[in-house]
């Protein structure tokens, strides 16, 4: 959990109350939409290798009264960019995502864009035609508004602005100050929130705020109460006065996020702010929305699209369960029968970047159609297990590519996956039936991303699914015997780890016609191998084992040089940079074992062998053992690389890099045989 602890140091969680008095006016950006001068094209951008520089990225969220007796929020976004070369032309195409729930949806109420060029001292431009803004359905709960600014060329300045109005106050727009690819000279976000709504905001990142100010103002909001509502028998307009909490954040000269190897998600470290609705008030008292996981768990179990179905008695499942799970007295086997039925008979429809947790139709439809998203399939699994008498609960988590889940504060948008926690035969198992080639009790490694949460009213436990808690073990056994006439015959048996086994099965399932090619990718490069075969490809509870043969020839040389690593523990040092800003996040702990038994080639003697060695990483973090023994006829070697940690803070980077560098160097040492 070291990296997760390191990550939490980057987070600031604050309730947006009125905590300071009015702050004096601070520096503002002078950039205005449509106001372009020839001097703007002389902007000194420094390094042009990025392809573009974001001159200004400015957003704001404010609230207005609506005709539903409450508040809506209005998000405004303005961006100006200098295009340096054609590699950044993609910035002229934008996609805006509008949230929808049934017939209610966010509204794009204004959009403008333009491209400006400086030609012979004059500014020429082309504007976005609103007819060129296209709407498209994007997943179940989103609509995509897409547009491309016309006439982009190197040296152009592009800008666009839009406004979105939303009644979904639980979805306050987040803000990223830092771009993954391009530097930003001025990034600003401002919110003005009536104190009848209290939000928690989570701030993360390495860069310091140039401006971070809060103040209180007083605003009037026109709210329309419909007839027969709580407060009005007839439709009427109400003028609601409220103190308003204002906050302004600015970061200047933000460099693009430097993507380094072994980072689970760059989103964990980008400068950004997220919001979560915390409390609402009727003007007299505040009511908690959701501010801890037990309350969130209770709410989820009441949701029609999630937990409510788990409290039902699904008689429509009985026939299926009786066919799948017999009255076998082996409790664990009954659970496996149900798991493998769901895993093997339901296709997972995954919507990238969207909520794959909730039920989109109904579990009856999922059963009928043998298809559903991750949440639907695993909720069906849980329901079937419960109907059979097992204790099974949903577990919500954030996968690695989605970033870390907040440890202390529930933010539902950070939880993008649901799995099953099963108690059977006195043990606890975590199951994911949405992955067709995943064995019972196994998860893909991207699920191991810190704290996951059990959705259970009585026991809403936190579960530590850390990469430090899992180990990938690989064992390679090599036997080399004399074949006569200067030849050596080799046999390799390589037992893969469970995560790599899953990847092999997935790759072969996607390209069955390329099975031989895929398997050869796991064989040594540059070594002529034959008779490549695989064991346990269909038994997903066992690791995949590859076996193949190879031949070598001494060519009757006076000196025969042989590297004892037929397959290398490490092909290269994964940490080549001199310095590192971010933590090192490996997918799992590792244990790689390499065993060699080799005949001394006929007509040769051993002239020189590498020395046995042991290398340590920290006191207990890692170890590399290289043990070799030689007789006149046989060479035996055993090497093991063990990493007891998957996550390392940046302060450990130099030691980690040197550790791997020493292993690489040791791998290239050769045995020298001299002709008799």
Q: Where are the domains of the chain?
A: 2-24+37-256+273-288, 293-468, 471-675
Above 80 in pLDDT, residue 23?
no
What is the percent of the chain where pLDDT is above 90?
A: 62
Backbone angles phi, psi at 606, to 5 degrees: -80, 115
Q: pLDDT confidence of 281, banded at 50, 70, 90? A: confident
Mean pLDDT, the chain, whole residue set: 88
What's residue 407's pLDDT?
Answer: 76
Count of alpha carbons within 13 Å of 266, Cβ hemisphere only?
11
Fold of 293-468: C8orf32 fold (3.10.620)
Which residue carries 């609402």 as its tokens? 280
Q: Is the dihedral of CA 311, 312, 316, 319 positive or negative?
A: positive
What's residue 47's pLDDT?
Answer: 62
> How many separate helices (H) and strands (E) can be counted in the chain?
9, 37
Above 70 in pLDDT, residue 12?
no
Q: Are 160 and 111 spatial neighbours (Cβ–Cβ below 8 Å)?
A: yes
pLDDT digit string (tens) for 336-384? 999 999 999 999 987 554 567 888 888 999 999 999 999 999 999 999 9
Tokens representing 530 are 């034959």
Average pLDDT over residues 648-669: 94
SS3 of the chain: helix, strand, coil, percent, to 5 = 20, 40, 40
Average pLDDT over residues 12-24: 46
Above 80 in pLDDT, residue 52?
yes
Above 80 in pLDDT, residue 589?
yes
Above 70 in pLDDT, residue 552?
yes
What's residue 604's pLDDT?
Answer: 95
Fold of 471-675: Jelly Rolls (2.60.120)
pLDDT digit string (tens) for 70-124? 899 999 999 999 999 999 999 999 999 998 887 889 999 999 999 999 888 889 9
Above 90 in pLDDT, residue 626?
yes
Sheet holding 134-137, edge to edge: 104-105, 93-101, 142-148, 134-137
Above 80 in pLDDT, residue 550?
yes
Q: Is the dihedral of CA 406, 408, 413, 416 positive or negative?
A: positive
Q: 2-24+37-256+273-288 belongs to which CATH class?
A: mainly beta
Above 80 in pLDDT, residue 411?
no
Closest CA to 387 of 458, 317, 332: 317
- DSSP lists the bridge partners of residue 211 as 250
What's residue 497's pLDDT?
Answer: 96
Average pLDDT over residues 163-174: 92
Lowest mean pLDDT among 328-337, 502-511, 593-602: 328-337
What's residue 22's pLDDT?
Answer: 39
Q: Are 63 and 197 spatial neighbours (Cβ–Cβ below 8 Å)?
A: yes
Q: pLDDT confidence of 7, banded at 50, 70, 90? A: very low
What's residue 8's pLDDT?
Answer: 46
CA distance 31 to 29: 5
Above 90 in pLDDT, residue 520?
no
Chain centroid offset of residue 44 CA: 35
What's residue 594's pLDDT?
Answer: 97
Q: pLDDT confidence of 230, banded at 50, 70, 90? A: low
Above 80 in pLDDT, residue 558?
yes
Above 50 in pLDDT, residue 25?
no
CA distance 118 to 577: 40
Lowest mean pLDDT among 129-133, 225-229, 357-361, 440-444: 225-229
pLDDT digit string (tens) for 390-404? 999 999 999 998 888
CA distance 479 to 596: 6
pLDDT digit string (tens) for 101-115? 878 899 999 999 999
Tokens representing 267 are 């989103």
Q: pLDDT confidence of 303, banded at 50, 70, 90? A: confident
Lowest mean pLDDT among 412-421, 470-479, 612-621, 654-663: 412-421
pLDDT digit string (tens) for 147-166? 999 999 999 999 999 999 99
What's residue 24's pLDDT?
Answer: 40
Q: Is the dihedral of CA 369, 371, 373, 378 positive or negative?
A: positive
Tokens representing 569 are 């523990």
pLDDT digit string (tens) for 57-70? 999 999 999 988 88
Average pLDDT over residues 592-611: 96
Above 50 in pLDDT, residue 334?
yes
The end-to-end CA distance of the chain, in Å, is: 57
Non-local CB neighbours of 32 within 8 Å, separated by 6+ positions:
none
């Amino acid at each position: 959990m070291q990296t997760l602890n390191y990550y939490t140091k980057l987070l600031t969680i604050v309730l947006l109350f009125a905590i300071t008095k009015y702050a004096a006016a601070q520096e503002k950006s002078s950039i205005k939409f449509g106001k372009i001068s020839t001097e703007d094209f002389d902007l000194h951008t420094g390094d042009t290798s990025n392809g573009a520089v974001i001159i200004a990225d400015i957003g704001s969220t404010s609230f207005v009264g609506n005709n539903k007796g409450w508040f809506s929020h209005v998000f405004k976004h303005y961006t100006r960019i200098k295009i340096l070369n054609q590699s950044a032309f993609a910035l002229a195409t934008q996609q805006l995502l509008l949230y929808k729930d049934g017939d209610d949806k966010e509204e794009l109420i204004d959009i403008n864009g333009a491209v400006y060029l400086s030609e012979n001292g004059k500014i020429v431009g082309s504007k976005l035609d609103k007819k060129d803004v296209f709407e498209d359905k994007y997943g179940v709960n989103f609509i995509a508004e897409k547009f491309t600014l016309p006439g982009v060329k190197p040296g152009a300045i592009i800008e666009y602005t839009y406004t979105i109005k939303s009644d979904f106050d639980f979805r306050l727009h987040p803000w990223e100050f830092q771009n993954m690819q391009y530097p930003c000279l001025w990034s600003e976000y401002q919110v003005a929130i009536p104190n009848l709504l209290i939000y928690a905001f989570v701030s993360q990142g390495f860069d310091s705020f140039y401006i971070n100010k809060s103040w209180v103002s007083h605003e009037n909001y026109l709210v329309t109460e419909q007839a027969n509502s709580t407060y009005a028998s007839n439709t009427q307009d109400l003028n609601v006065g409220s103190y308003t909490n204002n906050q302004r954040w600015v970061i200047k000269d933000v460099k693009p996020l430097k993507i380094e190897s072994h980072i689970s998600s760059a989103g964990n470290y980008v400068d950004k702010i997220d919001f979560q609705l915390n409390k609402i008030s009727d003007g007299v008292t505040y009511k908690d929305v959701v501010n801890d996981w037990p309350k969130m768990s209770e709410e989820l179990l009441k949701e029609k699209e999630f937990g409510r179905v788990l409290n039902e008695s699904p008689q429509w499942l009985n026939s299926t369960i009786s066919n799948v799970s017999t009255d076998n007295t082996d409790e664990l086997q009954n659970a496996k029968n149900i798991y493998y039925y769901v895993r093997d008979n339901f296709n997972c429809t995954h919507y990238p970047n969207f909520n794959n947790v909730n039920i989109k139709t109904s579990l009856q439809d999922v059963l009928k159609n043998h298809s559903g998203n991750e949440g639907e399939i695993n909720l069906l699994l849980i329901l079937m297990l419960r109907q059979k008498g097992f204790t099974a609960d949903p577990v919500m988590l954030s996968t690695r590519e989605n970033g870390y889940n907040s440890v202390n504060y529930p933010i539902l948008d950070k939880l993008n996956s649901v799995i099953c926690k099963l108690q059977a035969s006195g043990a606890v198992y975590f199951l994911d039936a949405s992955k067709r080639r995943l064995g019972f009790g196994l998860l893909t490694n991207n699920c191991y991303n810190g704290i996951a949460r059990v959705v259970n009213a009585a026991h809403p436990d936190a579960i530590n699914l850390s990469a430090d808690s899992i180990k990938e073990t690989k064992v390679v056994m090599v036997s080399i015997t004399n074949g006569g006439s200067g030849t050596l015959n080799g046999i390799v048996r390589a037992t893969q780890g469970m995560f790599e086994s899953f990847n092999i099965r997935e790759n072969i399932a996607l390209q069955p016609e390329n099975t031989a090619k895929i398997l050869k990718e796991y064989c040594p490069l540059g070594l002529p191998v034959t008779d490549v075969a695989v064991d346990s490809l269909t038994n997903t509870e066992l690791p995949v084992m590859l076996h193949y043969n190879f031949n070598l020839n001494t060519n009757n040389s006076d000196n025969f040089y042989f590297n004892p690593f037929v397959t290398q523990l490490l092909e290269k040092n994964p940490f080549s940079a001199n310095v590192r800003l971010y933590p090192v996040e490996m997918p799992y702990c590792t244990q790689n074992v390499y065993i060699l038994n080799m005949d001394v080639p006929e007509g040769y003697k051993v002239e020189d062998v590498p020395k046995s060695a042991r290398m340590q990483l920290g006191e207990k973090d890692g170890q590399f053992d290289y043990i070799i023994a030689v007789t006149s006829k046989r060479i035996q070697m055993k090497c093991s690389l063990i990493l007891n940690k998957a996550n390392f803070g940046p302060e450990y980077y130099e030691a980690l890099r040197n550790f791997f560098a020493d292993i690489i160097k040791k791998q290239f040492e050769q045995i020298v045989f001299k002709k008799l």
